[in-house]
Amino acid sequence: MSLKEHITDIIRAEGPISIARYMDLCLYHPQLGYYMTRQPMAAGGDFITAPEMTQAFGEVLGAWVIDCWQKLGSPTEWALVELGPGRGTLMSDVLRVMQRHAPQAYAGCKIHLVEISPVLKQAQQEMLQGHAVAWHQGIEALPQLEVPLVLLANEFWDALPIQQFVDGEERMVTVDAGGALAFTLPAGHITETCPALPCLVQRLKAITTAPCYQLYIDYGAEGTADTLQAMRQQKFTSPLEAPGEVDLTAHVNFAALKAAFGDNWGYIDQAGFLFRLGFPVRAARLMDAAKTPQEREKIALNCAKIIAPDGMGSLFKVGCFYTQGLATPAGF
Ligand code: SAH
C-alpha cells in the first residue's frame, strides 16, 4: 500500500485529519515516511543545505564551538549535541576544526546526535567513524546531562509538523469528490502553529544541569503565514501530491521560539552572523586552494548563496539560547 492510499483510508474512516497529523504521517510513518525511507540530502536529492554546499559553513561553526567551549571555562569534560545532523557533514567539519585547533576541547568532548531517520543515522555512522558518538532517536530520548554543553541544529525546526488555522478554524486534509487529497478551507488569512515546539524547548532548556550554549539555524521569521511547502529534487511541488515521497517543511516562527526560550534568547540574520565569524575570509582561502577553475567557481557560487542578502542570508536566521551569566557568544 502506498502512503497516499493509507492516508486516504484513514480520512475515509475517521474524517479529515489535521495538517500536523498529515505531516507526521508523511515524514515519520514507520515504514512509508519520508525520513524513514529516503536520503534527501544526497547528490540529486530533494533539498540541499548550507553544510552540504560548502565546508566553510561547518568550519566557521567549528570555530564558534571552540569559542563557546572557552567561554564555558575550557571544561575537561563536556558535551557537543546536534539535532537532525543529516548526512553528518556539519559535525564532521566541526570536529576536524576542533582536532586541529583545539585538541584539548576535542579530547574531552562526548558527542550526542539526535536523529530519527535510520537511513541518515547510517550515513552519519559512516561519516563520523572514529569519533566518540552516541545516537538518540529524539530529544525525549537524550539522557539528563550534567556537563557543560554546546548544541547545534541546522534546519531542524522546519521539519516539525505544523497546524494551520483560517479565522480561528483549523484547516484539515480531506479527500475530494475525485478521490484526491485536498485542504478543507480556502487559503485565506492563514496562521500556523507548531504544537510540539513549546514542549521540546522546555526539554532543551533543561538538557544539562551545567551551563550551555545552543545555536539554532533555520529559515523563517517572526509571525506566520501559509508557509507549508513541499520540495522534490530542489523544486517546489504541492504538499498534497505525493505524500511520503517529497520533503515537507514549514517556515519557523521565531516569535514562537522567542516566547518558548524566554529572556536568554536572541537571533540575527544568517548573513550577519557569518560575516562576523569570518565566513568570507574562510571562503576566500578555500577558493585560493581550489585545484581547478571550476572548483573555484563552485565554491564562490555556493558561499555567495549562503550569505546572499536577498536569499539564504536573510531568509535564514541564527538563534542562540545560553545560560544567564555566560559571555555573549561570538557573532551576536
Ligand atoms: N542538519 C542537516 C539536515 C537537515 S534536514 C543539514 O543541515 O544538512 C533535517 C534533519 O532532522 C534530518 O537529519 C532529519 O532526519 C532530522 N529530523 C527530522 N525530524 C526529526 C525529529 N522529530 N527528531 C529527530 N530528528 C529529526
Sorted by where each begins, the domain ranges of the chain are 3-279+310-322
Of 156, 203, 218, the residue with max ligand 1 atoms within 8 A of its CB, to mutate for a pocket test, comes to 156
Burial of 55 (0-12, 13-18, 19+ CB in 10 A): buried
- Does the C-beta of 159 come closer than 6 Å to ligand 1? yes
pLDDT tens string 71-118: 999 999 999 999 999 999 999 999 999 999 999 999 999 999 999 999
**What letter would DSSP give residue 329?**
P
In this prediction, residue 224 carries a pLDDT of: 77
- Does the C-beta of 49 come closer than 6 Å to ligand 1? yes
Considering the segment(s) 3-279+310-322 as one domain, its CATH architecture is 3-Layer(aba) Sandwich (3.40)
**pTM of this structure:** 0.97
- Does the C-beta of 155 come closer than 6 Å to ligand 1? yes
- Does the C-beta of 86 come closer than 6 Å to ligand 1? yes
In this prediction, residue 44 carries a pLDDT of: 75
pLDDT at 40 over 90: no
CA of 153 to the centre of ligand 1 (A): 9
- Does the C-beta of 249 come closer than 6 Å to ligand 1? no
